[in-house]
Amino acid sequence: MPGHRRVSHPSHTLVAMTAPSTRPTPPTAGPRQRSLSPSRAADFKTCPLLYRFRNIDRLPERPTVEQARGSLVHAVLERLFGLPVVDRTPENATGLLPEALRRLTATDPAVAEVLAATPDAERTLLAAANALLAGYFTMEDPRRLAGTERECFVEAEVAGGLVLHGYIDRLDVAPSGELRVVDYKTGGAPREAFEARALFQLRFYALVLWRGRGVLPRVLRLMYLKDVQICDFTPDADDLERFERTLVALRQAIDRATADRDFRPSAGRLCDWCSHQAHCPAHGGQLPPFPADQ
């Protein structure tokens, strides 16, 4: 993608951003439309059968410490930006951790299961999350951001009547109207060969904002908190038009696979992290019956 810049030790020189007066919210229920989210698109692109297991069969997946840690850090950063600008300090971020974890434990069974696994799971999780927050403050001073949208719901209709939607970790809006899309990553930064996979979600959001608000984002930013590394990308209109065609074709492929009840596995290295090998023919598993309501 054009305009890629990787920064290991970025400066704190940031443009003050001002959030719009209203925050987009999900639409109310209405007629069912052909839609696609970045997670569903990525599932099918990675492995059509994984898409089926997650989105049609809705099979349960084993929770992981990494997922719980990521959920906790995201929750704290969202709440941090809800504080007055002067209060967005490392100490206050650390102070938000226990309450954020209590909320997650009460609302997310996966997080509760992770905490119940070992006696010291809570202490270990809080310490790991605090280390990631320290990495965040090394890269950025949130007191220099005048305002943001966080966990921002975005939606737009693109070619072929396809509705794209999702939640952006953070959207910075400059007084000039320029947009910066920010995505927090709590795992390690990928090698260059795998960066396109990490960027897929941000390109998706860039397209939604371009089609929905008529503004091409100036910067797409991946913040790798563990490795204290920022990757900035400048989206390109021609690239996003090609990406739009790719997403439309992807949705059409999903529709065909659903109509034919034919979702093929794509075996590869990511299979090692899959929770569904017992149901996957590529690993000697038995497919569950296809849901009758699909």
For helices 121-139 and 65-80, the axis angle rounded to 10 degrees is: 50
Q: What is the pLDDT of residues 147-173, one digit of tens each?
A: 689 999 999 999 989 999 999 999 999
Confidence of residue 85 (pLDDT cuts 50, 70, 90): very high
pTM: 0.86
Q: Which residue has the higher pLDDT, 112 or 270?
A: 112
Mean of all residue pLDDT scores within the chain: 88
| β-pairing verdict for 149-157 and 163-173 | antiparallel
pLDDT at res. 12: 37
pLDDT at res. 18: 37
Span 4-19+35-246: which CATH code? 3.90.320
Decide: 61 and 224 in contact? Cβ < 8 Å: no
Full 3-state SS string of 150-189: EEEEEEEECHHHCEEEEEEEEEEECCCCCEEEEEEECCCC
Q: What is the pLDDT of residues 92-114, one digit of tens each?
A: 999 999 999 999 999 999 999 99
What distance in Å separates the CA atoms of residue 16 and residue 231, rounded to the nearest whole number?
A: 20
Q: What token pair was written down for 108?
A: 């997310």
Q: What token pair was written down for 94?
A: 């650390």
What distance in Å separates the CA atoms of residue 15 and residue 9, rounded to the nearest whole number?
A: 17
pLDDT at res. 175: 87
**Domain-by-domain residue ranges, the chain?**
4-19+35-246
Q: What is the dihedral of CA 1, 251, 285, 67, to 10 degrees?
A: 50
Q: Residues near 286 by Cβ (< 8 Å), separated by ≥ 6?
A: 278, 279
